[in-house]
Amino acid sequence: MRKLYSLLIASVVLSSCEKAFFEEDLESTNPKNNLEYLWNECNEKYSFFDLKQIDWDQVKSNYSAKIYDGMSEDSLFNVLGGMLTELRDDHTNLIANFNVSSFGVNYLGQDNFDWRIIEDNYLFQSYYRSGPFAHDLLQMVRSDISVSHLLQEQLMSII
């Protein structure tokens, strides 16, 4: 009986603290509110504006002009994704259940492995992509050689 009372008291105390621990739900279908929210989140939390010489206020002005009432989710996603690409940062992405927006940085150095070997020997042709990832189960071509061994050979050939 004592455990029941303790459990009852704990559930009442913890359930009443919801507002103290969780932020207010800011879900909105208003395109202007969504742009304002995303811009503010970046403004408060992104630290490289000065380093990258980005005038974030000007970016807000440019992209606010593209927002209108009644725009589709896809159009809003494209505008917000475009605003984030102004950051020129591949770690800052916008993800929705229907699309992914990323900067897509171009690498300047040589790859340290040959993607073609992985694709030809280990991935089925039916693999699929979601954002930057290629998905499928690895298959072994030969039982006496491992993926890490092939990658090690590739690294040694580069060095």
Spell out the domain ranges in the chain: 26-101, 115-158
The mean pLDDT value of the chain amounts to 77
Burial of 10 (0-12, 13-18, 19+ CB in 10 A): exposed
Asked if 102 and 93 count as a contact pair (C-beta separation under 8 A), the reply is yes
Nearest to 87 by CA among 26, 38, 132: 38
How far apart CA 156 and CA 159 sit, in angstroms, is 5
pTM for the structure as a whole: 0.55
Say which range, 50-54, 80-84, 145-149, has the weakest mean pLDDT.
145-149
Residue 28: per-residue pLDDT? 80
Residue 90: per-residue pLDDT? 83
How far apart CA 56 and CA 89 sit, in angstroms, is 14
How far apart CA 125 and CA 85 sit, in angstroms, is 31
**CATH number for the segment(s) 26-101:** 3.30.750.44
Over residues 37-49, the mean pLDDT reads: 94
How far apart CA 68 and CA 75 sit, in angstroms, is 10
